Every structure is written in C-alpha cells, then in structure tokens.
Structure 1
Amino acid sequence: MKIWKEQPANQEVEAVIAEYFQLLQNGKLDEATELISSEYDDWLDSLFVVWQDHYLIHEIPKDSSFDGKEWLNDLSWLKDLTIKPEMEWINDKYVWADFIYRDEPSGYVGEFCVKQIDEGYTVKRVIFKMA
C-alpha cells in the first residue's frame, strides 16, 4: 500500500491510480490490491461486475457465472481495460477515473478516496460503478 507522510498532491494520487490500472491490465491483481486496497470487502464482486458489463457485451464465454471463475482464471480480458488520463476530483478527497474498454468510454468509473491512516495518507478503492 502506497503511504505518504503528508497529504499527497492530486497528481501523486492520480499517478498511483494510473499504476493500479496498469497492473490490472497486466493481470497482476495481487500487486494492484497491494498498491491500492479496497475500502469494502467487495473486490472480487466488483471485478466480476466489470467483467460482466464490459467483456460479456463483446464475447460469449463458456461459463459466465461468478462461481465458474472464467473471469478470474483467464485475466486476458483486462488487457482491454484502461482509464482516461484526466481524472475528476470531488472535494480533494475523492477521485473518479473513467473506464475505457476496447478503446471506447464505457460509462463506468472507479471511485477512489484519499484516507488518513495512522501511518499517514493512502488511497483506497471505494467502488467501480456506472457514472
């Protein structure tokens, strides 16, 4: 988890979020969640919903169920997920990153927040959602 001793600048936070999405694109889920943890215990559920609402409109998998884990066992679909370089800030605490899937805006955002913790400040993933 990235930790700053002082409140980070918006650009520093955006750089960490961009790195997070690069890790996701490369299928490095563990590294991504080590860099930015989730505010809630819904990481796998959130990732599955992203797969459903992005990959499934383009492809027909053998098993589209959560329990089938095709979405988790074959992470190649993540190579098509990126974000717009410009991010939207809300009250200098929350930031939205717009999803792009297969080079098209998808209407989804990743919402992140800057949180103060005992060690300083960090970034947490709040939710992936339709904007």
Structure 2
Amino acid sequence: MRREILIVDDQPGIRLLLQEVFINEGYQVETANTGKEALEKIHSNTFDLIMLDYKLPIVDGAEVLQRLEEQGITTPAILMSGLAEGLVKESEKYSMVQEVIAKPFNIQDVCSTVKTLLDRKVQAQGEGK
C-alpha cells in the first residue's frame, strides 16, 4: 500500500525538493501552493500525512488546520516554518499537528520524521482492527 503525502508550500523550490525526495522514498505525493488549493485537494482525496507551511498566501496554515479540525478531519500534519520556535506553542491548539519543522531544514531529518509518523499511523490502524 503506497502512502500519500500532501505537501503545501508557496515556495516552488521547497515543494519540488520534498516531492522528489518522497517520490524516491516510494510515497505518492500531491502538492499545493496555497491553503485554498490544499483544502480542495484534501476534500477530494485521502492523505496519510500533510506537510503544511505555516505562512501561505490567502488561507494560511493555521486557517487550513482550523477548517480541517472543524470538519473532523484528523490527518496527521507536520507544520513547517522559518519561525518554528514561536509556532510550537501555537501548534498545540491543533490535534492534527504532530511535529513542527524549522526552515531551512535538514532533508534527512525530515525524511526520518515523516517515516516515523507514517509508521506510527500504520501501527495505530493495526491495533484498531
């Protein structure tokens, strides 16, 4: 079973880097460059993980998380930001946020975090059966 990741970032370089890395790791990857586009994709598809930039045009990362939680969507999320230190407290409001990653990031650390979160989700699904 291929796991699906949604990468949401308004910087094309970051989006393409993460997309390429995770496709090479064997994941199925979709991307969005705005919060509005991310919400549309989440409503038309099921993802195992969302990687979400906090600072997005129009609909920012916090608003995306708030809308998803209001709709009962519980997909695990990683919040990415250049201001990660200040975000840890903010992200505690959202049960979906499993991790906050500072930009610029170490790609090996990001891969390791994603793998850990997805493995944890699979284990939880196995225990729920």
TM-score by length of 2: 0.24
* Greater relative CO (CA pairs within 8 A, separation 6+): 1
Max Rg structure? 1
Please state which structure has a larger fraction of its residues in strand: 1
Please state which structure has a larger fraction of its residues in helix: 2
TM-score by length of 1: 0.24
